[in-house]
A and B are shown apart, each in its own frame.
Chain A
Amino acid sequence: MKLLRELSKKYRVVSVVGMAKNAGKTTVLNYLIEEAADEGIALGITSTGRDGERKDIVTGTDKPGIYLWEDTMVTTPSGLYDMSEAGLEILRVTEYSGALGEILLCRVAEAGYVQTAGPVATADQRGICREMLDRGADMVLVDGAVDRRAIAAPEASDAVILATGAALSRSVAKVVEETMHVAGLYRLPEFSDQAARRIIAENGNSGRLTVFEKKGARFPDVTTGLAAGGVLNEAIGNETKYVYLPGALTEGVVAGVSPSKLKQIAFIVKNPTKIFIDSASWRLLRKKGLRVRVLKNVEIAALTVNPRAPEGYSFDRAALLSAMREAAGGIPVLDVRYAG
């Protein structure tokens, strides 16, 4: 399957995010890098965490390295620069800095293994991705770290590849359920009330918590929906239709709303990365009437499965693939180790 060629027709920034640590993100990245070399697609590579190290620093298990070809662009912090075997030409010392030093934007001058790490904040990642595109990359691949998925936000990535697998759970059914929960969130219906959308946009999109009534909108005096509990509940009146949360929608936020009010309203969030409700609670809360709409959802380019877990156990490859395909509702599912 020519995955990258397909992706490059539609998207410029694609992030590879994981359902768990060791879900196979690096393997996916390597697969795409190899295809880019074959297809002559100029890549930029960055990471919201760190990638390319040979041993996982948490589990101590071996990890695949990242081999980059000449002229690929890549970010690496000053503290890891020496650890790359490739020849890296520093294009620019960026204004971004992380726990391992200043982030350097580099061009691979001599092919080889690279350790990559980029800005940890999503807003800064956007800056780096844009710069790599401006400097001539056809596409940028962002490697997400651990189970961090903020980079999937539509402002940051045009599409995501969601990596999942045995690392998530010892049960295939559970892996499928948890993964499809996230995939389901990424494909939530977009909020269709144009008048309300306009009001949100006028308040700078991210701006303020807004309560939409049958007629008009109010801005209660709460700085964040988190731990706002009672205040948020009181702000919801008989006529309230929607509550727009500029920030996170967590179980705690939902718990603060009384059962009858929960049935009456829908929560609006900016995008699915703002939702922090696990699959079991989601199912329960849906039964209690929880409704959520997003201003913009996340485009899932593909789901990838890794049948092996770092703990040593593994699933039957074909069984995992078919279980995931059956649930995926049309999203391409692949095991990149066998896709070539």
Chain B
Amino acid sequence: MGANGIAVAKVDLKNIKPYGDTMNDGMMELTFTLPVPYGPEADEAAKILGRKMGLDEVSVVFSKDLGQGFTFFAMYGKCRHTVDFTAIKVAKADVEVMSREECQKYIENNIRRDVVVVGATTGTDAHTVGIDAIMNMKGFHGHYGLERYKGIEAINMGSQVSNEALVAKAIETGADAILVSQIVTQKDVHISNMTNLVEIIEAEGIRSRVVLCCGGPRISYELAQELGYDAGFGPHSYAEEVASFVLTEMVRRKLV
């Protein structure tokens, strides 16, 4: 690897290919399951699928009977396709992430009062693990949740909370931030549920007073912008990213 993180051996950024052990060999490894019984026909089916996916020199290097008519495969192949890396433009938002300790210091120095955060999984969605990962004491993957932060009062209302109840709680507690989690996305229910929340917040006249964040496996910055949220947090988000955003946003918008 070069100093700037780009592989040095004559990479053609206009035509990048997967890297196995030599530049542009196109080598990829795939693992997947097919709903067919283990055997030579199953291996052949996997190879045909690989070729259809644009792979050359396909080989099934491992296959295993999963029982009940399912087979698992590990497959190698050389990808025919290339990508023009120089033409890629991605919508970005950069938030500088502070550690929990830094967040606490930041509150002490810049906000000088407790910050109230109200969160919930809304609508009919019953998944709590995501919002708990961000808010609960214990946190997630060794990253403590907001409840653990000195200077943050975290109110986690749980799941299946109506938008009305969430907004009422935010008003009652004078919340500085509202966190909403949406995990179920079938028939795009999360979209109308989240726009309804924004609209009620607007109607109650508190939109300018709160930092509004959403999160969940299908949430991105772009979607957050479209839905009218200040930020959106996707998979692998941690409490310190959320806290850093909320706190700096409060200061930037003079909500302290």
- Interface set of A (CB-CB < 8 Å, partner B): 21, 48-50, 53, 57-59, 77, 79-80, 82-83, 97-101, 117, 120-124, 145-150, 206, 223-224, 226-228, 246-248, 250, 252-253, 273-274, 276
Contact = CB atoms under 8 A, between A and B. Distances in A.
Contacts of B167: 224, 226, 248
A123 B207 CA distance: 8
Contact of A226 (B89, B188, B204, B221): B204
Interface string B151-190: 0000000000010110111011000000000000000100
A48 B195 CA distance: 12
B207 A121 contact: yes
Contact of A58 (B188, B200, B204, B252): B188
Given A49-B227, A101-B92, A223-B172, A146 B191 contact: yes
Nearest to A99: B224
A120 B196 contact: no
Q: Which 8 A-B pairs have the closest CB atoms?
A: A227-B168, A248-B203, A150-B202, A99-B224, A247-B204, A49-B226, A226-B168, A120-B228
B228 A148 contact: yes
Contact of B199 (A57, A101, A124, A150): A150
B222 to A, nearest CB: 5
6 contacts: A57-B222, A101-B93, A120-B230, A145-B228, A146-B226, A273-B199
Contact of A48 (B191, B192, B224, B228): B228
B50 to A, nearest CB: 24
A286 to B, nearest CB: 20
B235 to A, nearest CB: 16
Interface string B210-227: 000000000011111111
Given A145-B195, A146-B227, 10 more contacts: A83-B89, A83-B91, A99-B229, A100-B225, A148-B198, A150-B203, A224-B204, A227-B168, A228-B168, A248-B204
A94 B6 CA distance: 35
Contact of B195 (A83, A122, A146, A226): A146
A224 B228 contact: no
Interface of B is mostly: helix
B231 interface: yes
A83 to B, nearest CB: 5
Interface string B55-94: 0000000000000000000000000000000000101111
A226 B225 contact: no
A98 B225 contact: yes
A57 B228 contact: no
The SS class assigned to the A binding surface is loop
Contacts of A99: 93, 221-222, 224-225, 229-232
Interface in B14-35: none
A48 B226 CA distance: 7
Contact of B223 (A58, A77, A79, A101): A58
A313 to B, nearest CB: 15
Interface of B: 89, 91-94, 162, 164-165, 167-169, 171-172, 188, 191-192, 195-196, 198-200, 202-205, 207-208, 220-232, 249, 252
B200 A276 contact: yes
B225 A77 contact: yes
Nearest to A148: B195
B54 to A, nearest CB: 20
A123 B208 contact: yes
Nearest to B204: A247
Contact of A148 (B93, B199, B231): B199
A150 B91 CA distance: 25
Contacts of B252: 97
A124 B164 contact: no
A97 B93 CA distance: 10
Contacts of A147: 192, 195
B166 to A, nearest CB: 9
A273 B201 CA distance: 11
Contacts of B91: 79-80, 83, 100
A227 to B, nearest CB: 4
B207 A98 contact: no
Contacts of B168: 224, 226-228
B233 to A, nearest CB: 10
A117 B225 contact: yes
A101 B165 CA distance: 30
Contacts of A145: 195, 226-228
